[in-house]
Structure 1
Amino acid sequence: MNICVTGGAGFIGSHLTDRLIEEGHRVLVIDNLFTGSREFVNAKADFREMDIRDTALTEVLLEFKPDYVFHEAAQTMVPVSMEKPALDCDINLMGLINVLNACRAAHVKKLIMPSSAAVYGDLDTLPLTEAMQGAPSSFYGLTKLTTESYLRIYKEAFGLDYICFRYSNVYGPRQGHGGEGGVISIFCERLAKGQGVTVYGDGEQTRDFIYVGDVVEANMLALQHTECSGVYNVSTEVGTSLNTLLNELKSIIGTDIDVTYEPTRTGDIKHSRLSIKKSNDNLGFRAKIDLTSGLKTTYHYFADMENFDM
């Protein structure tokens, strides 16, 4: 099939592109390289340097004729969304609308894209299910929640089918370049350089960390289950505190870690853990990579990069 991946030079998008090409699909990567890296783009993929807000996107899709579009391009940083809400809205909502209109014009069968656990806000009841009404505590979470409504209405009004994944905290190799830095990639990169790390809060806040390979698998299942539509959680269903995470990393690197604790940042939530019952029942999804294995792979990726630079 012909498949387009926006943000395909980024963290999740590049891993997804690799898997799609491995499965024999023809892939067009669209990325403005603002946070993505050209070296991450699979050599067998077609590449177009373009912003998703560019109106010429419609012409590109009309020419390529994709059967499916994976829309991975986004502004992903909570602090940036709080400092620059207009920018966050422009990329994540106006950019989305441009992608949706291009998909309509090109008669795309289905759009598959991420939402985020940030849509839930700081709800007390865990694990979080797709049916829960969220109250986002950041503009990033708000734009992702609004994204889901745009997808629903585009399907109801125009027949554009979709699957939208509420990812928990994704981590793995290639993360942390530009605007996609998750806490694990930040910690691993600093530790690989022999530097200390900063924790915002007391370190007892928990996150549902999921390895990027499992996220790619969820996306591939979305291609297989053409009958499925709507919003699905993608997670491990395991909550891990940042202090526990640091202890795991300490065991991996074999040395003590210099940790500085700072006040909690505006927009950050205390606890997050997602239910995958719906994803498991409908898509057959279940995460396979445990945290220790994923952390080892991610840390050694950054350590190898540091050794290469030296």
Structure 2
Amino acid sequence: MIVVTGGAGFIGSSLVQELNARGRDDILIVDVRDHVEKEKNLKPLGYARFLDRDDFMAQVQSRSLPDVTAVFHLGACSSTTETDEAFLRKNNFEYTRDLAIFALETDARFIYASSAATYGNGDQGYSDDESRLEKLHPLNLYGHSKHQFDLWARDQGWLSRIVGVKYFNVFGPNENHKEDMRSMVLKGYLQARESGRIRLFKSYRPEYEHGGQVRDFIYIKDAVAMTLFFYDHPETGGVFNVGTGQARDWNDLAKSIFSAMGRETQIEYIEMPESLRDQYQYHTCAEIGKIQAAGFKQPIRSLEEGVKDYIQNHLSSF
């Protein structure tokens, strides 16, 4: 059996969908049924069981789960603005730690979600070389909680046996339940449809024009393919970036949205909330040489290709 925590969520449900396409439905989904959009994500999926987290963890602790061959741990708090440190430690660090111990004790493949937020302001670069983990300084508590487990797993000597995937800016179908944490592709599409313009944050650093802050935007279908690469290659271990290796700015993103909609680009620059200014990343870009060296050769969609597929094939009737 394959376990997917967060299996009703964005990346999790997309991963289950791809496992189904491979003919696998012996899947245990672990999640919280707390949003109607999660129910929509679950509806087309094939899976054997659904458990909420507490029931699942009780069976993990008692070692009473049926034979588990792999655990994709994608269920945690993903809010970059969460301020409850104890909540993040429990839901991101301790939850991941306990599942890693379970997986290693039962010889199950363990693949967990880390985050590009662990890189902080990028002053130490975006290398996924584990020897550089100590140099990273996340800007927010969410990033710190993810980084805390990466460091702990390294110190335990486990990174050769498990895989942490550092997702950069993932966008695509099945993200509507994320509300404020939805991608700017979805938010921008809705803004453009309703008002004819897209609102982007102003820049507060002179070296970046308004909307010129850059991100590594990766389409969900590519993020899932990169994640499943590690399932297909159990000999591979470590922390790996999941991104395109291309830095694109928010203006490019807005232009891609309008192009996919067949509309003229109209951008409005707005003030960034003061609460975000000190923890805002102005530049992120994944170094993906490590995953390529491990054997991942599949072409990765450009920003324009991903946005076009998302809008025209998934959002046109949204």
Both structures adopt the same fold (TM-score exceeding 0.5): yes
Give the C-alpha shift of residue 256 in structure 1: 4.0
Provide structure 2 residue ranges, at least 5 long, that are not aligned to the other structure. 204-210
Distance 1:299 1:193, change over 3 A: farther
Structure 1: give runs of 5+ residues left out of the alignment: 306-310
| SS of equivalent to 1:16 | helix
Instruction: Trace 1:151-300 onto structure 2 (pairs within 5 A).
Output: 151-153=153-155, 156=158, 161-178=161-178, 180-194=181-195, 196-202=197-203, 203-253=211-261, 254-263=263-272, 265=276, 266-300=278-312
- Which segment is superposed worse, 111-120 or 198-207? 198-207
CA distance in 1 between counterparts of 2:31 and 2:190 reads 24
Aligned residue for 2:207?
Answer: none
Is the 1:6–1:52 Cα contact (8 Å) retained in structure 2?
no
One-letter amino acid of the counterpart of residue 74, structure 1: A
Kindly indicate whether residue 4 of structure 2 is the aligned counterpart of residue 5 of structure 1: yes
Native 8 Å contact 2:200 2:267 kept in 1: no
Partners of 1:239 and 1:272 within 8 A in 2:
yes
For the pair 1:130 / 2:128, whether they are aligned, the reply is: yes
* Counterpart Cα distance in 2 of 1:91 and 1:198: 32
The amino acid that maps onto 1:303 is: S
Q: Given residue 316 of structure 2, which amino acid in structure 1 is its aligned partner? A: A
Give the conservation status (yes or no) of the 8 Å contact 2:160–2:238.
no
Contact 1:104 1:160 in 2 (8 A): no
Q: Give the distance between the partners of 1:198 and 1:49, measured in 2 at CA.
A: 39
How far 1:236 sits from its partner (Å)? 0.7
Report if the CA contact (8 A) 2:118-2:136 is conserved. yes
CA distance in 1, matches of 2:13, 2:122: 32
Q: Does the 8 Å CA contact 2:160/2:236 hold for their aligned counterparts?
A: no
Distance 1:23 1:7 in 2: 20
Q: What CA distance in whole angstroms lies between the structure 2 residues aligned with 1:255 and 1:121?
A: 35
Q: What is the rounded CA distance, in whole Å, between the counterparts of 1:7 and 1:175 in structure 2?
A: 12
Where in structure 2 are the equivalents of 1:103-142 lying within 5 Å? 103-104=103-104, 107-124=106-123, 128-131=126-129, 132=132, 133-142=135-144
Task: Provide the rounded CA distance (Å) in 1 between the counterparts of 2:18 and 2:71.
Answer: 14
The 8 Å contact of residues 21 and 27 in structure 1, kept in 2 or not, is answered as no
Q: 1:183 deviation in Å?
A: 2.2
Structure 1 residue identity aligned to 2:128: E
Partner in structure 1 of residue 315 of structure 2: 302
Q: Aligned partners of 2:160 and 2:248: how far apart in 1?
A: 37
Residues 54 and 68 from structure 1, CA distance in 2 versus in 1: closer, same or farther, beyond 3 angstroms?
Answer: closer
TM-score (norm 2): 0.84
Displacement after TM superposition at 1:120 (Å): 0.9
- Following TM superposition, by how much is the alpha carbon of 1:155 offset from its aligned partner in structure 2, in angstroms? 5.1
Within-5 A mapping of 1:11-30: 11-25=10-24, 26-30=26-30
Aligned-partner Cα distance in 2 for 1:31–1:210:
24
The letter for the 2-side match of 1:255 is: E
Q: How many pairs are equivalent? A: 298
CA shift for structure 1 position 285: 4.3
Q: 1:57 to 1:104 in 2, by over 3 A?
A: farther
1:13-46 deviation per Cα after TM superposition (whole angstroms, max 9, x unaligned):
1110011122123211111134670221244212
Q: Which amino acid aligns with 1:223?
A: Y
Range moving further from structure 2, 23-32 or 38-47: 38-47
CA contact (8 A) 1:111 1:160 kept: no
Q: Helix, strand or coil for the counterpart of 1:78?
A: coil
Counterpart residue number, 1:98? 98
